[in-house]
Amino acid sequence: MSYRRDALAIYALWRRDLLRFARSRGRIVGTVATPLFVLAFLGFGFSGARFASIPESVGYLQYLVPGVLGFTMLFSASFSGLAVLSDREAGFLKEIFVAPVSRTAIVLGRTAGATTTSLAQAVAVTGLAVPLGFRPNPLGIPLALAVLVALSVTFIGLGLALASQFHDSQGYGLVVNFLLFPLAFLSGAFYPLANLPLPLRAIGYVNPLTYGIDALRAALIGYSAFPLWLDLVGVAVGATVTVAVGTALFERVEAV
């Protein structure tokens, strides 16, 4: 019976996140417009840029789109922690904590909802990139979707881990912004990691976003800096670690 209650709780939290997202037009526009502006400004502004480590057959826009998709998943998923803090302030978190369901079910429900909305944003960004000149490999789309889901789960876990350590959204927002931009710029999203000095490159090599974006490039444009198997292992390890840490810390969260 407890499994049935947990399954219903997961579904209810997933559905709640989807309804909140669908009703927030400003959020929908904002989360799609920002990556689109990055694509337009950087994609056209650096259209003639060449990097020695990238084949000449790979244009900068082709190189950039998978990076922007990873960038989108990073920001949209990590800010899922704000929803936890918002629910705590509104009293909703206390209500679900006293319900006869496990904390793990609550984590899974929130993860499912945030992953679905993040994936919808990534699909929208990809569709809008096509008129700009992006030409993805159709055969690689299923793999790309799987990688996007894994990246979303990775940074939802990070968001939950961070949210569990804060009681107000302002402190959380400052720390998240401090972490997200280095993660984005040390991932190879906008330029090859090989262009960075060795100390920064070393940080990039332990960044799970690096392997996720490289796997997206392998799937969508047929180019990657690392072997695909290494990318998939890096994404899987990153997702496992952040979700495990996020779940463990969320277990200790107090509702008030």
pLDDT in tens, 23-63: 777 667 777 777 777 787 777 777 666 776 777 777 888 88
Q: Is residue 133 part of a domain?
A: yes
Average pLDDT of span 83-104: 72
Q: Is there a contact between 73 and 118 (Cβ–Cβ < 8 Å)?
A: yes
- What are the pLDDT digits (tens) for 201-248? 899 999 999 999 999 999 999 888 899 999 999 999 999 998 888 888
- What are the pLDDT digits (tens) for 136-178? 899 999 999 999 999 988 988 888 877 777 777 777 777 777 8
Q: Is residue 84 part of a domain?
A: yes
Q: Is residue 255 part of a domain?
A: no
* pTM reported for the whole predicted model: 0.88
Q: What pLDDT is stored for residue 49 in this prediction?
A: 67
Q: How far apart are CA 141 and CA 193, in angstroms?
A: 24
And the tokens for 60?
A: 């900068």
Q: Is residue 224 part of a domain?
A: yes
Q: Is residue 17 part of a domain?
A: yes
Q: Is residue 155 part of a domain?
A: yes
Closest by alpha carbon to 245, among 157, 173, 154, 116? 157
And the tokens for 175?
A: 């720390």
Q: Is residue 165 part of a domain?
A: yes
Quick one: CA torsion of 187, 193, 196, 200, rounded to 10 degrees?
A: 50
Domain limits for position 148: 2-250
Q: Is residue 58 part of a domain?
A: yes
Number of structural domains the chain divides into? 1
Closest by alpha carbon to 68, among 3, 111, 160, 132? 132
